[in-house]
Amino acid sequence: MKTVTTIRDLRAAVRAWRQAGETVGLVPTMGALHEGHLALVRHARAKTMRTCATLFVNPTQFGPGEDLATYPHSEAEDAAKLTKEKVDLLFQPGTAEIYPPGHITKVWVEGLGDILEGECRPGFFTGVATVVTKLLLQSQPDVAVFGEKDYQQLQVVRRLVRDLDIPVRIEAVATVRDADGLALSSRNAYLKPAERRIAPALFGTISQVAENVARGAKPDAQAAWGVGQLERAGFTSVDYVTVRDAATLAPVANASRPARVLAAVWLGQTRLIDNVPV
């Protein structure tokens, strides 16, 4: 695996592949790689001839009180994992490469980026949308791969690609979970042992909500039941449990169209999100 740190070198590498008639898959990450990320890499490898991963802890998607300063870093281990997965190229830019002095342009996905996670974390999706747009334009891949774990992010990315006519196919990979159901996340590393024991109840609860809604129960009542269940299970607080249209994330009154149960909770200082299809 070759590592490049500049947009210029990234473009040169992709250009060489293109000239050889090879297709390119992009896997954007913030590092602290786990099996969930490797599933994205494997998907890209299966779909395209060349795979480029990016490792950039994007400061603009962290709010003032959030964990940018303490976000887990494991660059050497990450590079070893990507090498083992036969990634061809790692783009690992510094902050000034992505946001040079004077950078002022932002990508705002109005509405879709302002609800749920966008409401709990103001500015988060503008940070994500801006960096993803830049990474897509910098690398110009055929396919870019995102995890369903960050379901709203996936919809925001699909939307910006459509609205900005970015010529790339966005592909989604199902959430990878521990044996007890907890969705893999770099932030799971923050959980204390007692919190880790409570954490799987998040998946258990939203799965039950999804099943009940699929059987005809009212989404609002089920979401309220889910909040109570999570509180009883020992979560510190619940930001939301909600049943939404799977594409627009608008509230739904029943399961007549594809829907998704999404939730965000706190365990001590750690915020966890998860989602499942109805």
Alpha-carbon span 75 to 54, nearest angstrom: 11
Closer by beta carbon to ligand PAF, 58 or else 175? 58
* Nearest C-alpha neighbor of 256 from the set 226, 229, 278: 278
- Two tokens at 168? 């790339």
Query: In the numeric block, which tokens belong to residue 235?
Result: 């979560």
Q: What is the per-residue binding string for ligand PAF in 216-255, x denoting contact by CB under 6 A?
A: ----------------------------------------
Rank residues 27 and 278 by Cβ distance to ligand PAF and give the closer one: 27
- Give buried/exposed letters for 183-215 (b at 16+ CB in 10 A, else e): bbbbebebbeeebbebbbbbbebbebbbebbee
Q: Is 30 in the site for ligand PAF (CB under 6 A)?
A: yes
Q: Does 133 bind ligand PAF (CB under 6 A)?
A: no
For the window 31-60, what string marks contact with ligand PAF as x by the rule CB under 6 A?
A: ---------------------------x--
List, as own/partner pairs, every contact residues 220-228 make where C-beta atoms lie below 8 angstroms and the sequence separation is at least 24, other chains included: 223/261, 226/261, 226/263
Q: Is 34 annotated as catalytic?
A: no
Among residues 25, 28, 93, 226, which is the contact residue for ligand PAF, using CB under 6 A?
Answer: 28
Single out the catalytic residue among 37, 43, 73, 103.
37
Interface residues toward ligand PAF, by CB under 6 A: 28-30, 58, 61, 128, 131-132, 150, 153
Residues identified as active-site: 37
